Amino acid sequence: MTSVYLNDRFMPLADAKVSVLDRGFVFGDGVYEMIPVYSRKPFRLEEHLRRLQGSLDGIRLANPHGVAQWRDLIGQLIALQAFDDQSIYLQITRGTPESGQTPRDHAFPQGVAPTVFMFAQPLVSATDAQKAAGVCAITAPDIRWGRCDIKSISLLANVLARQQAVDAACAETVMLRDGFLSEGAASNIFVVKNGVLLAPPSSNLILTGITYDVVLELAAAHGILHELRAISEAEVRRADELWMTSSTKEIMPIVKLDGAPVGTGAPGPLARQMDALYQDFKRQVMRA
Ligand code: PDD
């Protein structure tokens, strides 16, 4: 049976239980990470743990573990799984108020241990055929709060946006705020125009993806022109190429937006080049 980690112990999934008063359940008061694992090696673990620290700082929750301890726990969780390519979900909530404390109070309970939960799922990467076909997306207003840089478990707006895509038989919803591109419901969005790779800069309005950072590093290392700046809705609609990026989707071309073809309506050359660079980079990192 699947082994998961909950509060200092590894156990079968069926035995992992948290209180209904847990702040994650009652308030969505917590943060998370999704870490891809290739051939049992976590990809960009240090960067994920750094972003986790930023999220914890953002919600004023102390990190229950140091980097070395996280590394060890994640290594143990990986070793317990029956499959090699994994996506590790890691969640920390503000914990459960103790008896004698107000069961539900928006303000932080004092002296409560956080709830730490991790589990692994098989990581199913996109096939070459899927990358060659691309996916369709729709647009929707970005109705989220002003701290989208925190990887919060309060994901209702993202959940609704992603379901809108599913209802339209599409893979992703591209969110627009005040006439400008922010990101996807569960991905970052890149635009290619006239050979230049464009993306919104890191800010409180987007979650800076680990994949986003790798793509920009690869662009810089391989002389691909790129610019970080605000991108208008009109530029999104006139893009030569549109990509969604995330730890699980990697670089996935969007070929149709709101029913209209993106560029030629087929994945573009820069998406193919970046995917090849990304796959190479992954292989190098995994060999190291
Ligand atoms: N989400 N923006 C949002 C809103 C996301 O949810 C994600 C990823 C990203 C891309 O981040 P990264 O490249 O680090 O995966 C951007 C994960 C995969 C999830 O929620 O499952």
Considering the domain architecture, whether residues 142 and 192 belong to the same structural domain is answered as: yes
In sequence order, which residues have a C-beta less than 8 Å from that of residue 49 and are 6 or more positions away?
33, 67, 70, 71
Report the pLDDT value the prediction gives residue 270, as an integer from 0 to 100.
Answer: 98
Considering the domain architecture, whether residues 189 and 233 belong to the same structural domain is answered as: yes
Report the pLDDT value the prediction gives residue 1, as an integer from 0 to 100.
Answer: 62
Q: Whole-angstrom Cα distance, residue 41 to residue 118?
A: 16
Domain boundary among 99, 122, 145: 122
Q: Which of 41, 131, 151, 249 is catalytic?
A: 151
For residue 87, report the phi and psi dihedrals to the nearest 5 degrees: -120, 125
Domain, as residue range, for 7: 3-122
Domain harbouring 96, CATH code: 3.30.470.10
Which value, to the nearest 10 degrees, does the dihedral of the CA atoms of residues 235, 237, 240, 241 take?
100
In sequence order, which residues have a C-beta less than 8 Å from that of residue 193 and are 6 or more positions away?
235, 238, 239, 240
| Number of domains making up the chain | 2
Report the pLDDT value the prediction gives residue 2, as an integer from 0 to 100.
Answer: 86
Considering the domain architecture, whether residues 87 and 205 belong to the same structural domain is answered as: no
Considering the domain architecture, whether residues 261 and 207 belong to the same structural domain is answered as: yes
Considering the domain architecture, whether residues 72 and 104 belong to the same structural domain is answered as: yes
Residue the block writes with tokens 């290594």: 75
Interval between CA 167 and ligand 1 midpoint (Å) = 20
Domain boundary among 122, 141, 172: 122
Tokens at 90, concatenated: 């890691």
Nearest to 231 by CA among 188, 281, 173: 188
What separation in angstroms does the CA of 217 have from each of 34, 222, 276?
20, 9, 14
Considering the domain architecture, whether residues 14 and 97 belong to the same structural domain is answered as: yes
- Tally of CB atoms within 10 A around 217: 12
Q: Whole-angstrom Cα distance, residue 69 to residue 66?
A: 5
Q: What share of the chain is helix, strand, coil (3-state, %, to 5)?
A: 30, 30, 40
pTM confidence score: 0.97
Instruction: Give yes or no: 193 in active site.
Output: no
Report the pLDDT value the prediction gives residue 287, as an integer from 0 to 100.
Answer: 87
Interval between CA 248 and ligand 1 midpoint (Å) = 8
Considering the domain architecture, whether residues 181 and 241 belong to the same structural domain is answered as: yes
Considering the domain architecture, whether residues 16 and 97 belong to the same structural domain is answered as: yes
Would you call 250 helix, strand, or coil by DSSP?
strand
Domain boundary among 105, 122, 139: 122
Considering the domain architecture, whether residues 81 and 132 belong to the same structural domain is answered as: no
Q: Which run of H or of E encompasses 46? A: helix 45-58
Q: Report the pocket of ligand 1 as residue ranges, CB < 6 Å.
A: 34, 158, 183, 186-188, 207, 209-212, 245-248
Domain harbouring 148, CATH code: 3.20.10.10
Considering the domain architecture, whether residues 139 and 171 belong to the same structural domain is answered as: yes
Considering the domain architecture, whether residues 174 and 275 belong to the same structural domain is answered as: yes
First vs last C-alpha separation in the chain: 31
Residues (pLDDT < 70) of the chain are: 1
Considering the domain architecture, whether residues 154 and 258 belong to the same structural domain is answered as: yes
